[in-house]
Chain A
Amino acid sequence: MAITYTSGEQVEVYRFSVPATILIPLTAVFIQAWLSKRFTFLNIFDLPLLVTIGFATARRNPLAGLFTGCFIGMLQDALTINPIGLYGIAKTVVGFGASSLGIKLDVENSGARFLLIIVFYVVHEIVYFMIARGLVGLHMAWSWPHEFLSGVANAILGVLVFMLLDKVKQRT
């Protein structure tokens, strides 16, 4: 029997196998780093964030969500030149928030997922912006239209990513 981990606290709680838990975030970070080198415009997508939200809403366990976000974020940080923790903090918050919201809302339909991703994308960017400016001292520009449009683009991609994640998640 495969080793799995899950919250097991709620109904409709899903789990992911260990290979999926490790490989999916790694693949997301890899694709993000590899594709964005070739196609700069793909930088507006944040595939690791989508995976974080997807995992968090499926597991519906705030602790699992925040640790997943923390792990994926720090992995993403490790490939940048910035201090480790920028993405880590932002994705920890998102992971916690998404899993907490997942307990209370039905996030199984595409419309809810679409809105959820837009909201959490903007939350992620706000947290990242604040940490980057306030703690690290990076000069960053903020633009609401840009963030909103990026959120919509990520939401469209996210709905597709969630469909793929649905295929590998297992009901507890």
Chain B
Amino acid sequence: MDVLGRYRNLIVLVGVLFAQVLGLAVQVKRTTASEPTRLIRVWAVGAVTPLEKALEWLQTSTGNIWHNYFYLRGVRAENRSLKAQIERMTLEQVRLTQDAGQARRLQALLAFKEQFISETMAAQVIGGSGSESSRSVFIDKGYSDGIRPDMAVITADGIVGKILHADPVDRHVSEVLLIDDQTSGVGAILDKSRLQGILRGTPSGELVLEKVMSDETVSPGELVLTSGGDRIFPKGLAVGQVTKVSPGSEVFLSINVHPAADLNRLEEVLVVTKIDERQAEPDQTGATRAIDILAERLPSVPPKPDDAAKSVAGTAAPGTVSAGSAKPTTAGPATVKPAMAAPGTAKPSTIASTAAGSDAKPKTASPQAATTTAAPAPRKPPMSARATGASAGTVSDASPATPANSTGSPVSKPAPKPVKSAVPAPPKPQPAVEDTPH
């Protein structure tokens, strides 16, 4: 008894350590797939996440007030820059749409099946694990919101991870295993060389692409995409970029990858709640793609009526009107397509004046109004018509008014009603640059 009393502290220490080691051994031996969440985890998450949610809400609210009301410096310049970007992207989109249409026709011929993200859910990151050896975050959506384990988590930039725990006990929070955790694995493919490998995290939080044979050539800068082989992430989502290639162990290369999504500064993410797999059809050009869903869900710059009017008046100079600049301001949602479809047919001065007066009401909001303003277009000199048509050059071929422009003679009949057929796949208005007055 004396010995027990003398070494009581040590005996208790050994007992507590032994119990924990035993607990560890049991946890390690169990398979994680069917393992229910430990009660202590539920308690800990339940104790910590309400505070995190409250702080997150406070931070977001403060941030919103700052960004929406006070921090508007540089918005005009940014707006101009974004409009210029739209013009460039419109051109590219027309080309890509044609390519995509061709690809779909070929896929349909070959009976290919494609994966489409049909449902996503936006969630906010509310906390992390607080440990270097465990790279996971908690999001504010859980089991009750339809979140289930192994769902993919992405951002507009690239993939983030997968749902690890979405427990019925703690219904409003789930844990996301980030792709840079050492227990994570993602099927990946190199964009150019089409080599497939497995993307893993390292203890130091880096991403490494494994299982690429050392006799293959991989160059830094190459994009890495999801291969779809893991049955979690749909094929073709951005993963990152190759930063370093070195000889690895055995016969494989060691390829370091910089993640496309900033995993250290995650705020909002999208959980892919449903993926459809269907056969490609030629008429699927308008099908919702992952990138469309992302564009719709992500936060956008709030519209400013004043800016909208002024910027259009400024950018839509006579003879220089283009699809990108005319689109958002002269037309409501219904007239976006015609404005894009036949940019050369709209009279710049009319557009500018109409848009400038759009504070009261959007005069060109109806297709008919758009047609009216588009009618005097042939007065434009042929060169400017060509120049402006260049922003959607292939589109203008579809417009009957274009030949009149090219000859310089006025069109005797009104410009055609805005129809969708002018562009194979009408470009969606980008939320980030929408200037339509409200």
Binding site for B on A (CB under 8 A): 26, 29-30, 32-38, 40, 43-44, 62-63, 66-67, 70, 74-76, 78-89, 92-93, 96, 100, 131-132, 135-141
Q: How far is the CB of A56 from chain B (nearest CB, A)?
A: 12
Find the residue from B38, B164, B202 having the highest chain A CB count within 10 A: B38
Residue in chain A with minimal CB distance to B132: A43
B21, B28, B131, B203: the one contacting A80 at CB < 8 Å is B131
- Min CB distance B21 to A, Å, is 7
B residues with a Cβ closer than 8 A to A are: 8-9, 12-13, 16-17, 20-21, 23-25, 27-28, 38, 40-41, 43-45, 47-48, 51-52, 55, 125, 127-137, 164, 175, 177, 181-183, 202-204, 264-266
Nearest B residue (CB) for A93: B17
Q: Do B23 and A80 touch across chains, with their CB atoms under 8 A apart?
A: no
The answer on a CB contact under 8 Å between B28 and A33 is no
Bound Cα distance A40, B47 (Å): 22
Supposing A29-B48, A141-B204 touch, asked if A84 and B38 sit within 8 A by C-beta, the answer is yes
B41 touches A78 (CB 8 A): yes
- Would B129 and A33 count as touching, CB distance under 8 A? yes
Expressed in whole angstroms, the Cα–Cα distance for A76 and B36 within the complex equals: 19
**Which residues on the B side are within 8 Å of A87 (C-beta)?**
131
Q: Nearest 4 CB-CB pairs, A to B? A: A78-B44, A37-B128, A80-B134, A33-B130
Contact of B131 among A76, A137, A141 (CB under 8 A): A76
List, sorted by A's number, 25 A–B pairs whose CB atoms are closer than 8 Å: A29-B48, A32-B130, A36-B131, A37-B127, A37-B137, A43-B131, A43-B132, A66-B12, A78-B40, A81-B181, A82-B134, A83-B24, A85-B21, A85-B24, A87-B131, A93-B13, A131-B24, A135-B21, A135-B25, A138-B133, A138-B182, A139-B202, A140-B133, A140-B203, A141-B203
Contacts of B44 in A (CB 8 A): 29, 75, 78-79
B211 to chain A, nearest CB (A): 17
Q: Could you say which residues of chain B place their CB within 8 Å of the CB of A26? A: 47-48
The answer on a CB contact under 8 Å between B130 and A36 is yes
Contact A136:B28 (CB < 8 A) given known A33-B48, A70-B16, A78-B41: yes
Minimum Cβ distance to chain B for residue A78 (Å): 3
How many A-B Cβ pairs are below 8 Å? 142
Q: How far is the CA of A75 from the CA of B273 in the complex (A)?
A: 30
Contact: B16 with A92, CB < 8 Å? yes
Whole-angstrom CA separation of A44 from B130 in the bound complex: 10
List the B side residues contacting A38 at CB < 8 Å: 265
Q: A33-B48, A84-B27 in contact; A89/B20 too (CB < 8 A)?
A: yes
- Cβ-defined contact, B204 with A79, below 8 A: no
Whole-angstrom CA separation of A78 from B170 in the bound complex = 13
Q: Give Cα A83–Cα B264 distance, bound, in whole angstroms.
A: 23
Cα-based distance from A93 to B38 in the complex (angstroms)? 23
**Residues on A with beta carbons closer than 8 Å to the beta carbon of B48:** 26, 29-30, 33-34, 79
Whole-angstrom distance between the Cβ of B68 and the nearest chain A Cβ:
21
Q: In the complex the two chains form, is A83's CB within 8 Å of B28's CB? A: yes
Contact between B130 and A96, CB atoms less than 8 A apart: no
In the complex, residue of chain A having the shortest beta-carbon distance to the beta carbon of B135: A81
**How far is B25's CA from A135's CA once the two chains are assembled, in angstroms?**
7
Structural contact, A74 and B40, CB atoms closer than 8 A: yes
Given A33-B48, A63-B9, A92-B17, verify A85-B131 contact (CB < 8 Å): no
In the bound complex, how far is the Cα of B45 from the Cα of A19, in angstroms? Answer: 20
Which chain A residue lies CB-closest to B128? A37
Q: Are B45 and A78 in contact (CB under 8 A)?
A: yes
Contact between A34 and B52, CB atoms less than 8 A apart = yes
User: B28 contacts A88, CB within 8 Å?
Assistant: no
Smallest CB-CB separation from B9: which chain A residue? A62
Determine the distance from Cα of A88 to Cα of B20 in the docked complex, in whole angstroms.
7
Contacts of A135 in B (CB 8 A): 21, 24-25, 28
Given A63-B12, A78-B45, A85-B20, answer yes or no on A36-B133 (Cβ-Cβ < 8 Å).
no
